[in-house]
Amino acid sequence: MVHGSAIIGSGAKIGANVAIGPHTIVGDDVIIGDDTSIGANAVIEGEVRIGRNNRIGHGAVIGGAPQDVSFSPTIRSRVEIGNGNVIREYCTIHRGTSEGSATTVRDDNFLMVGVHVGHNCAIGNNVIVANNVLLGGYVTVFDQAFIGGGTTLHQNMRVGRLVMVQGLSAFGKDLPPFTLAAERNAIFGLNVIGLRRAGFSAQQRDEIKRGFKLLYLSGVNARQALDKSAELEWSELGREFFQFVEEAIAKRGVCPYHREQ
């Protein structure tokens, strides 16, 4: 059902059982999958691909030009959104900044009111992003992460799988998988409750704790911990943890552990 006041571009492709609210604008290059609902006063422009069973709130803007002073309107880039996402009121998701690039939101994510997803970000599956979070360009958020309200993430950084971030925090370095992060570039421990809720066994949690202790509690720096990890045997989870650390060291580095004064 498309409201009579909505403006739908002649080239837009709208799936079955799609609801589009009043005064919403859908551009010529937009594809919207079946069973998706879009609220009032939303703007979906540029090359945007939206999958099935998504709920997009009032006033959301998807596919707008990136906030990049070097961006040219002649560049063809896009936004790709998967299936089963909830994107609440006034969220903004900007398209990629370079030719042929994309900002991606995969499946079953929940973006709360006022979230900004900058150009070329990549959000995985089952991620929760609370109100007024700001993701700079090229931020990557891995599966099942939770980002508390009002948090700011610097461009090019990564949030690992099952990370839990406290609200009103700010980060400019990578957050390793399974950790608790808060305040300014600080790791406070492991997301133990999140690991249990995700079905990780005691043995799996022990493996993650072993990796965490080596990285943060063994008295060596991140590079030394990574070198030491190469001498030890790890399960798949341990390898995932230290592969993330290795990639982080090569770029932005990992956030340090918060030690009580």
Whether 4 shows a pLDDT value over 80: the answer reads yes
Domain coverage including residue 25: 7-141
Please state the domain count of the chain. 2
Span 196-225, mean pLDDT?
A: 98
20 and 95 together in one domain: yes
**Same domain for 137 and 11:** yes
Q: What is the mean pLDDT of residues 30-42?
A: 98
As a whole number, mean pLDDT of residues 37-41 equals 98
Residues 50 and 136 in one domain: yes
Do 109 and 200 lie in one domain? The reply is no
- Among 122, 141, 160, give the residue marking a domain's end: 141
CATH number of the domain within which 220 lies? 1.20.1180
pLDDT attached to residue 234: 98
Beta strand 146-147 with 122-123 is unpaired
> What pLDDT does 238 receive?
98
**60 and 127 assigned to the same domain:** yes
Residue 208, pLDDT score: 98
pLDDT band of residue 58 (cuts 50, 70, 90) is: very high
Residue 165 lies in a domain: no
pLDDT of 64 above 80: yes
229 and 115 in a single domain? The answer is: no
Segment 33-42 shows an average pLDDT of 98
One-letter-per-residue 3-state SS of 17-32:
CCEECCCCEECCCEEE
CATH number for the domain that contains residue 27:
2.160.10.10
Q: Are residues 206 and 106 in the same domain?
A: no
pLDDT of residue 198: 97
- Other Cβ atoms within 10 Å of 98 Cβ, number: 15
Task: Output the pLDDT for position 260.
Answer: 75
222: in domain: yes
Residue 65 covered by a domain: yes
* Percent of the chain at pLDDT exceeding 90: 98
Whether 19 and 133 share a structural domain: yes
What is the reported pLDDT for 89? 98
106 in any annotated domain: yes
Arithmetic mean of pLDDT, 206-226: 98
Tokens read off for 215 = 């990285």
What's the whole-number average pLDDT of the chain? 98
Residues 95 and 210 in one domain: no
* Radius of gyration for the alpha carbons in the chain, expressed in angstroms and rounded: 20
**Stretch 49-72: mean pLDDT, rounded?**
98
Which pTM was predicted? 0.98
pLDDT of residue 259: 86
pLDDT > 70: what percent of the chain?
Answer: 100
Do residue 245 and residue 134 come from a single domain?
no
Structural domain contains residue 1: no
Q: Is residue 180 part of a domain?
A: no
The mean per-residue pLDDT over the stretch 30-57 comes to: 98
pLDDT for the residue numbered 236: 97
In a domain, 220, yes or no: yes
Dist. CA 74–CA 143, nearest whole Å: 33
pLDDT, position 46: 97
Q: Listing from the earlier edge strand, what are the strands of the sheet with 102-105? A: 13-14, 30-32, 47-50, 78-81, 102-105, 122-123, 140-141, 158-159
Task: Say yes or no to pLDDT of 261 above 90.
Answer: no
